[in-house]
Each structure stands twice: as structure tokens, then as C-alpha cells.
Amino acid sequence: MRESELLIFCDGGARGNPGPGAAACVIKEPAGKTRFLCGKYLRETTNNQAEYQAAKLAWEILKAKYQGVKRVKFFLDSKLVVNQLNGLYKVKDPNLRELLFQIRQLESCFEEVYYQHIAREENAEADTLVNKTINLRHSFQQELT
């Protein structure tokens, strides 16, 4: 089945900020069916870097597995990162600016891209994956059918 739209829930976090961190994403169909789960262990990082890494991770998976999708909607609980991805805030940190540049390159493969801020409670699935990944200290990917 080829989807015309996917919903991407991303989260990133670091214990200690900076500290051991992880990025995670959950890819869903609009009807709510989960298609893909992943977490990436980041070692020493900041919360903002982890949030960007979560979006980048999702884009890498989308490019590899879902290039036929027309519209992707990202949901993140970091207002700062959402506003930077939407071009409303400047990105002053050079590390974050580099991650943003990498994300922009990955975005170019898709017709419609949206970033939306959501409450932390609405992002519980991705948050759980971040904590699981930090606890296990290793990355994972799981495609669901």
C-alpha cells in the first residue's frame, strides 16, 4: 500500500543536558496505524541536538522506505525546534544549523512538509522510545506491517 500522507512523531532528550541522549520517531498512517518505530542512541548530547537528531532520523527513514509519500506531517514537543524548522526562529548554534541544513536536504524529496508543536503528553510514544533507547544504550529500528 502506498500512503499519500504519513504522521511522524519525534522526540529527543539528554539526561543531564548535556549527557547521554537519544532520538526517536514513530511513523504512523493518518488512521493511527503505526508503521515504523526507531530509536538512535546519541551518547553525549544536548536536548536540542537530540530533538534535531530525531527529525533527521525520521527523514532518513522516510527517504529510504517511504519516498512515494506525498505529504509528511511532523509532530514534536519542542516549540523551539518546531519554530526553527518552520523558519520562524533563527538558528544561531552552529551544530544545530548543520543539522537543519541536513534536514533541509532530506526534505527536498517530498512535496509537502509540515512541522507542528504538540504537548508532551501527545508525544508519549516517542518519549517512551527515547527513554528506552537511553536505558539500553543502543539503537533500534522496527518496521510494523
Write the pLDDT tens digit of every residue in 6-35. Answer: 999 999 999 999 999 999 999 999 999 999
pLDDT grade for 67, boundaries at 50, 70 and 90: confident
The pLDDT tens digits of the residues spanning 122-133 come to: 999 999 999 999
Over residues 93-103, mean pLDDT: 97
Domain boundaries, the chain: 5-143
CATH for 5-143 (1.10.1040.10, 3.30.930.10, 3.30.420.10, 1.10.580.10): 3.30.420.10
Cβ atoms < 10 Å from Cβ of 115 = 22
Cα(56)–Cα(104) distance, integer angstroms: 9
- Asked if residue 133 lies in contact with residue 139, where contact means CB atoms within 8 angstroms, the answer is yes
Residue identified by cell 544545530 is 96
In angstroms, what is the C-alpha Rg of the chain? 14
**Alpha carbon distance 17, 21 (integer Å):** 8
**Burial of residue 111 (number of CB atoms within 10 Å: 0-12, 13-18, 19+):** exposed
